[in-house]
Amino acid sequence: MKPTEKDVIIIGAGAAGLMAGIEAGRRGRAVLILDHNDQVGRKVRVSGGGRCNFTNLGVRPDHYISKNPHFCKSALARFSPADFISRIERHGIRYHEKESGQLFCNGSSDQVIRMLTAECGEAGAELRLKSRITTIEKRGRFMVRTDSAAYSSASLLVATGGLSYPALGASDLGFRIARQFGLSITPLKPALVPLSFRRAEAEMLSPLSGVSIPAELSCGKVRFQGPVLFTHHGLSGPAALQISSYWNQGEELAINLLPGHDAYALFIDHHGSRMELQNFLCRFFPRRFSFLWCSRFAPSKPLALYSHRELKAIAEKLQRWIIRPADTEGYTRAEVTRGGIDTAELSSKTMESKKVQGLFFAGEVMDVTGQLGGYNLHWAWASGYTAGQYV
């Protein structure tokens, strides 16, 4: 079978692959984008609860986790939130800001997907879906075979994403391609993912399932403040998802249930009160949480009947409640994958492999992981845009 010749083959029709295809096509390159799914942008579609949290106004390099924290700087400087905003405004997509600079479509994520697909068409980038890669070789040019056709190209861009959301078609293809060409992969783990309790804690705290409280979670020197949701299995909610990206198996988490308060000072101020501790804590927490927490950790009685030493111990427990999670809930519940292709082996200016000429990477497949709030999609846009200038 004689291969169809292209200048650029992109594997992966997600956010990074589509952005790279648009940019390469605009440079006059003959671009082919391959994906085994029957739809483009499947992770984009579910982003932001279906409204696409497409970027964050506060994008900075310190919102990203990587073995090389400097790698992302060049791409983020080249493609800013304002650059993506200008694109969606040209397409008449209305959007709004939620907390912490997060930007969402007023409508659905499909608006962004239609925009990307239209821009691919305008740039001449060809899309071929339901194309499963069978082999890739490099004999001067890259030779890519699928289950139905063969192609060759001078440049190959891998934008296959990570292992999160396997139900949406995620696979380890990008990592296998990298290893085939001798590139290293940093350790992989689920990130932005709920944490699961050990059995004893799960049984003890299961009555709290569905309760959400504002709290601060810390792991080592990293801390996040925000809603924490108790589930049947463990912890979820924004603060728990954020800390999960930094937590490693076996480590403990500290929960400050009263961030911004001095719990001991609050108790001393009300030490003469006949109010029961569990009722006093209802000023700060849902009743179900206050009553269960007291029954497990501080048997309730009127505040006036506690000694100063007892109040100090209860205050310390409230502001540093130690939990040691059993695990995360895995890639099926993870929003992203932490780790990936070692960025020490890639050019931060071009996203090209330092070992294999013409081999490029973009998006989540690399060892760059964003925090919650639009940062991961922005990395897909920025890295795809950057790679698209050079493939």
Q: What is the pTM of this model?
A: 0.95
Residue 145: which domain range? 4-189+338-388
Element holding 161 (H helix, E strand): none
Confidence of residue 363 (pLDDT cuts 50, 70, 90): very high
The chain-wide mean pLDDT, for the chain, equals 97
- pLDDT, residue 99, reads 86
- pLDDT, residue 77, reads 98
Share above pLDDT 70 across residues of the chain, in percent, rounded to a whole number: 100
Task: With beta carbons less than 8 A apart as the criterion, state whether 235 and 324 touch.
Answer: no
- Quote the CA–CA distance of 290 and 282 in Å, as a whole number: 6
CATH code of the domain in which 289 resides: 2.40.30.10
Task: With beta carbons less than 8 A apart as the criterion, state whether 289 and 204 touch.
Answer: no
Number of domains in the chain: 2
- pLDDT, residue 2, reads 86
Report yes or no on 333 lying in a domain: no
DSSP at 188: P
Last residue of some domain: 277, 293, 328? 328
Apex 43 CA angle, 40 and 46, nearest 5: 115
Report yes or no on 55 lying in a domain: yes
What secondary structure, in 3-state letters, does 190-232 show?
EECCCEECCHHHHHHHHHHCCCEEEEEEEECCEEEEEEEEECC
**Could you tell me if 35 and 103 lie in one domain?**
yes
Q: What is the pLDDT of residues 274-318, one digit of tens each?
A: 999 999 999 999 999 999 999 999 999 999 999 999 999 999 999
Beta bridge partners of 11: 34, 158
Helix (H, G, I), strand (E, B) or coil at 114: helix
